[in-house]
Amino acid sequence: MELAILDINGKATGRKVNLNDSIFGIEPNDHAIYLDTKQFMANQRQGTHKSKERGEVSGSTRKIKRQKGTGTARAGSIKNPLFRGGGRVFGPKPKYYGFKLNKKVKELARKSALSYKASSNNIIILEDFSFEAPKTKEMIKMGDNLNIANKKLLFVLPEQNNNIYLSSRNVQGVEVVTANELNTYEIMKASTLVLVESAVDVLQATFEN
């Protein structure tokens, strides 16, 4: 699959890049995408929720009334879950929500997500660029030139570029990642994938390895 390379002004450079069909042209596997996305979102959960049970709340353990003859339910202490200020029954406890997923399934999921973007013509190849200083208006201007303003965009860079990252940080719907950080969730979340020219080689080399 060949795509034209554009400059930051939205004009064709006259050059093209060849996208590997084994990465951008496979039959997408929806279940692999589901599993990889589920794992990514599960890993974002802190799992630090916690409530105190009757053995953890502060209060006396004195038996507040006799066991029988009161006409009401028996109560062992003021920390009884039925009383206000008592412990909670079966409350949440800290939990790790992540789960194992095979590397080949994750790889298949990313290839499937990239293939979806390629088949729907939602991939743009942009020649290598950089900003001399962080400028939000430069990023907005580039989006206007490429006719992708007001869309959810994912810029994929070959390596970290602080000026590009800081320029995009205040632009709503724009995310910047490196080719090594690319994941299924971010690909599917974006409406348009913007691949920097040199990032294509890094991305394809990552899958080949």
For residue 56, what is the DSSP state? T
Closest CA to 157 of 108, 104, 195: 195
Q: 168, 155 in Cβ contact below 8 A? A: yes
Say what the pTM is: 0.83
Task: Determine which helix (DSSP H) or strand (DSSP E) holds 140, and give its type and residue range.
Answer: helix 136-145
Q: Which residues contact 75 (CB under 8 A, 6 or more apart)?
A: 63, 64, 65, 82, 83
State CA 4 to chain mean position distance. Answer: 28
Per-residue pLDDT of the chain (209 residues), as tens digits, is 888 888 888 888 888 888 889 999 999 999 999 999 999 999 999 999 999 999 999 999 999 999 999 999 999 999 999 999 999 999 999 999 999 999 999 999 999 999 999 999 999 999 988 888 998 998 999 889 888 888 899 999 999 989 999 999 988 999 999 999 899 999 999 999 999 989 998 988 888 76
Q: 48's torsion region: left (phi>0), alpha (psi -120 to 50) or beta?
A: alpha
| Residue 207: per-residue pLDDT | 83
Domains, the chain, ordered by start: 2-46+100-208 (3.40.1370.10), 51-91 (no CATH)
How far is 199 from 182, CA to CA, in rounded Å? 11
| Residue 2: per-residue pLDDT | 86
Residue whose pair of structure tokens reads 């992540």 in the numeric block: 98
User: Which two structure tokens, joined as six digits, stand for 21?
Assistant: 């069909």
Give the Cβ contact number of residue 184 at 10 Å. 25
| Residue 116: per-residue pLDDT | 94
